[in-house]
């Protein structure tokens, strides 16, 4: 929960005076905030509901989230950067987010949104967390799923923006456009400030092609990067002025929430009442209103930025061969031009005579699309949802806090899974009403609970779990445990699980 000092400064009726008092004090502390609640449906079939694009390696072997979390390393300037970023993510992604942070050596504060409410409430939760010790901070809010090639240029732009944030303005980084593009929102720049910055005249929606061309030709419209630099107190004051309901419910959600030792969890009931809105709509587009509590500034960022909002954008961001092709994984081009091909499932992808094509192969789905139609993939995913097909939400390989499982084969009354459990981890204590399970240890040592029994299995040993018997699988060793599970029964759905006990505090259903 928030401490008494921060709560007192953020209560209704004292918002203006308290936040003005904060903003009048010097502040040199930069707190990186990573907004990781997106779904990234346009990068299907790699990005899915349970494993969205920020968690995958789109342009490198590390994920976009990991790249964002380490982006402020080496920052050298007049401001002090907190080494522990604040990450705001969804309930279903919390364990993978935590695992990826540990694997890249980042100790992060993770705030878990009970439901998705867009970027403005997420930033508000982060601002409250940044002020939990009663001190103000300059927030550097970054989307988790963008690519930036030049970290030094980013650091310089943030240093410039932080000066304006320190003065009580809300600063954002704008991208001088290199081409007309209808996939981005634009910022109309106003009067010039120092260091290449400008006042923000207004934000504009994603334009039609003709209007986008006019914007670029005029030289006074920049792309909206979605990166914001603002004092926490200034953000809270502006939100309280423009959207009092969102502000009040975020305060209530934070006060009514709890810290479970690993994650900060706002109150689900209060956060469920929070209106859903973006940073742009909730605050930024209203800064030009009369009597707005602060001004907006935009600082140019020329650093090889991409929002990776489509497979076409991924193709644009990556190094190409002499024919304009981009390959990832086992890919062969023959007479192809300007194509993107990715083999994720390990199969060979061969493109012969293709032009401006996208081909993405995974274990359970293959996408073939014209690059000019890359934005239409979002509609395709909506149709997959309507058919209640699992490929919209999950991959064949499903990650869990204890490791992962991979559905290798299935039929009418059987299913075969490969289960990998990390050292020291264990699945929930559970039982099934409709299926029995056979476990075969392939690698490592398994500690098995079956009814009132508990015993060890080593490589090439197996056991049988009858229907209705409580059971648990654990890895007591120092190497990964790998087993093959053969399920048999009348119903094999993941909702045929009754969790009796769970180390990770998860709900009663869903696998493991």
Phi, psi of 183 (to 5 degrees): -90, -10
Give the pLDDT band of residue 23 (cuts 50, 70, 90): low
Measured distance CA(285)–CA(288) in Å, rounded: 7
**What pLDDT, in 10s, does the model give residues 106-163?**
999 999 999 999 999 999 999 999 999 889 999 999 999 999 999 999 999 999 999 9
* Residue 25: per-residue pLDDT: 74
| Helix/strand/coil for 225 | strand
User: Residue ranges per domain, the chain?
Assistant: 4-306, 311-386, 397-501
Q: Do the beta carbons of residue 348 and residue 330 sit within 8 Å?
A: yes
Predicted structure pTM score: 0.89
Smallest CA-to-CA distance from 466 within 427, 506, 439, 498 is with 439
Burial class (CB in 10 A: 0-12, 13-18, 19+), 470: middle
CATH top-level class of 4-306:
alpha beta
* Residue 26: per-residue pLDDT: 75
Burial class (CB in 10 A: 0-12, 13-18, 19+), 469: middle
Q: Do the beta carbons of residue 71 and residue 83 sit within 8 Å?
A: no
**What pLDDT, in 10s, does the model give residues 46-104?**
999 999 999 999 999 999 999 999 999 999 888 999 989 999 999 999 999 999 999 99
355 pLDDT above the threshold of 50: yes
Rounded-to-10 torsion of CA 51, 303, 179, 279: 60
Q: Do the beta carbons of residue 7 and residue 116 sit within 8 Å?
A: no
The DSSP 8-state label assigned to residue 93 in this structure reads G
Looking at 3.30.365.10, 1.10.3720.10, 2.60.120.10, 3.40.1360.10, the CATH number of the domain 397-501 comes to 2.60.120.10
Give the pLDDT band of residue 373 (cuts 50, 70, 90): very high
**What pLDDT, in 10s, does the model give residues 475-512?**
999 999 999 999 999 998 888 889 999 988 876 555 55
Q: Are strands 109-113 and 86-90 parallel, antiparallel or unpaired?
A: parallel
């Amino acid at each position: 929960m928030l401490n008494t000092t921060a709560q007192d400064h953020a209560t209704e009726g004292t918002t203006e005076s308290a936040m003005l008092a904060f903003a009048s004090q010097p502040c040199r502390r930069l707190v990186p905030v990573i907004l990781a609640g997106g779904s990234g449906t346009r990068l299907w079939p790699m990005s899915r509901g349970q494993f969205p694009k920020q968690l995958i390696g789109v342009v490198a072997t590390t994920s976009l989230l990991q790249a964002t979390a380490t982006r402020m390393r080496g920052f050298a300037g007049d401001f002090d950067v907190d080494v522990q970023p604040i990450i705001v993510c969804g309930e279903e992604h919390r364990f993978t987010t935590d695992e990826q942070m540990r694997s890249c050596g980042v100790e992060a504060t993770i705030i878990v949104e009970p439901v998705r409410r867009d970027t403005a409430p997420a930033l508000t939760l982060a601002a409250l967390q940044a002020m939990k010790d009663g001190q103000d901070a300059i927030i550097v809010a970054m989307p988790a799923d963008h690519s930036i090639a030049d970290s030094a240029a980013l650091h310089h732009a943030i240093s410039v923006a932080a000066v304006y944030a320190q003065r009580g303005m809300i600063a954002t980084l704008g991208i001088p456009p290199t081409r007309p593009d209808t996939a981005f929102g634009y910022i109309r720049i106003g009067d010039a400030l120092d260091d290449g910055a400008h006042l923000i005249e207004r934000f504009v929606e994603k334009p039609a092609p003709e209007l986008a061309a006019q914007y670029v030709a005029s030289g006074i419209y920049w792309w909206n990067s979605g990166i914001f630099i603002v004092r926490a107190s200034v953000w809270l004051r502006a939100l309280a002025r423009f959207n009092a309901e969102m502000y009040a419910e975020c305060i209530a959600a934070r006060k009514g929430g709890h810290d479970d030792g690993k994650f900060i969890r706002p109150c689900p009931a209060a956060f469920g009442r929070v209106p859903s809105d973006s940073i742009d709509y909730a605050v930024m587009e209203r800064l030009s209103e009369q009597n707005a509590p602060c001004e907006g500034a935009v600082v140019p960022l020329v650093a090889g930025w991409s929002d990776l909002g489509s497979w076409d954008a991924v193709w644009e961001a990556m190094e190409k061969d002499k024919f304009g092709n981009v390959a990832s994984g086992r890919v062969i081009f023959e007479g192809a031009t300007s194509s993107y091909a990715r083999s994720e499932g390990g199969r060979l992808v061969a493109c012969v005579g293709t032009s401006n094509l996208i081909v993405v192969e995974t274990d359970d789905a293959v996408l073939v699309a014209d690059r000019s139609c890359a934005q239409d993939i979002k509609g395709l995913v909506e149709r997959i949802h309507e058919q209640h097909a699992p490929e919209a939400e999950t991959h064949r390989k499903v990650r869990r806090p204890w490791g992962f499982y991979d559905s290798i084969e299935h039929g009418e009354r059987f299913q075969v899974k490969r289960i990998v459990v990390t050292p020291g981890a264990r699945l929930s204590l559970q039982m099934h009403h409709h299926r029995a399970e056979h476990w075969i240890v392939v690698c490592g040592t398994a500690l098995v609970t079956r009814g009132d029994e508990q015993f060890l299995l080593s490589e090439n040993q197996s056991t049988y779990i009858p229907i209705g018997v409580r059971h648990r699988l654990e890895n007591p060793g120092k190497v990964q445990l790998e087993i093959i599970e053969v399920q048999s029964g009348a119903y094999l759905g993941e909702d045929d699980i009754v969790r009796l006990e769970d180390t990770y505090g998860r709900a009663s259903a869903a696998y493991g």
